[in-house]
Amino acid sequence: MEGGRPSPYWPLFVGPYGAYLLLFLVLPFVNVALLSVYLHSPTKIAVAEFTGTNYAKLWEVYYATLFLRTLRLSLLVTIGCAVLGYPLAYVLARSTSRVMTLGLLLLVMPLLVSTVIRVFGWLVILGSEGLVNQGLRLLGVRESVRLLYTEGAVILGLVQQTLPFMVLPVMAAVERIPLSLEEAARNLGASWAQMFVRTILPLSLPGLVSGSLLVFSVSMSAFITPALMGGRRVRMVGQQIYEEVLTAYDWPGAASLTIVLSVSMLALVALALWATGRRARPKRAR
């Protein structure tokens, strides 16, 4: 923004939160990074002796599969949210303010309920004696279908949880596109679909990217949902970290998992932001 010079008192404004982040995010993270290169000990949190074994271990098939599964499920959740959320976001952005407010309220309402309770709701619906199976039984299906503890269940639960993170940024992006652009494209001979592909989609892409990044990050680090809806079969990295600490009492092992997860996600986010920033910023003609 032109002339958007910050107030000379800016440290006062960002200082408190900066201190909070430093104390409760940066320092613990540094601690975790240190732990990840320390030696595992069955009796202490770690032995302060540098080693690479915690990282070398991650190349084992078990961990590689775990990471690939986490990545694959997160991508599927992101795609699911985009497919379900984009049209919804478009319709909400183009509706009257009353409909928009109502839609937003309904959309955000699930966020007001804790994840554990929402997941419990899914258990009631998908369990072997749950609503779906009872319904199937009424239709004459004898054997109950296993719905819980499948990848599908994890994806379903995560999509439901992360959908608002997709819809909100896309909606904001679409709202910023004047309706007259749609009409101009139609007037120049574009069918609705052509108009959409050539104007709305490219112009709302930054919103779609932010939404995808949010959904993807939340899914990658999800813990409760995969733990309760995926169980042992569909384990994701978050649950593994939890068990390394509480069951195996392997703090350095958990730390190395954490660092790999965080660094790869940061790299991905940076890449996506850089790519869209380049697209969105027109080249200066001189």
Tell me which DSSP letter residue 234 carries: T
Residue-wise DSSP of 155-223 = HHHHHHHHHHHHHHHHHHHHHTS-HHHHHHHHHTT--HHHHIIIIIHHHHHHHHHHHHHHHHHHHHT--
Span from 14-22, 46-54, 127-135, 192-200 in contact with another protein (CB under 8 A): 192-200
* Position 60 contacts another protein (CB under 8 A): no
Residue closer to another protein by CB (options 99, 188) is 188
Rounded CA separation 193/186 (Å): 10
Contact by Cβ (8 Å): 272, 215? no
Q: Please report whether residue 3 would count as binding another protein according to CB under 8 A.
A: no
Q: Is 189 in the site for another protein (CB under 8 A)?
A: yes
For another protein, give the closer residue by CB, 197 or 248.
197
**Residue 180 near another protein by CB under 8 A:** yes
Query: Minimal CA–CA distance to 226: which of 205, 247, 204, 243?
Result: 243
Residue 285 binds to another protein (criterion: CB under 8 A): yes
188 belongs to the binding site for another protein (CB under 8 A):
yes
Q: x/- contact string, 243-282, with another protein (CB under 8 A)? A: ---------------------------------------x
Single out the residue of 34, 125, 190, 224 in contact with another protein (rule: CB under 8 A): 190
* H or E segment and range at residue 45: none
Q: How far is the CB of 182 from another protein (least distance, A)?
A: 9
Q: Which of 51, 115, 144, 199 binds another protein (CB under 8 A)?
A: 199
d(CA 283, CA 286): 9
Q: How many CB atoms lie within 10 A of CB 194?
A: 13
What residues line the site for another protein (CB under 8 A)? 178, 180-181, 183-191, 194-195, 198-199, 202-203, 282, 284-285
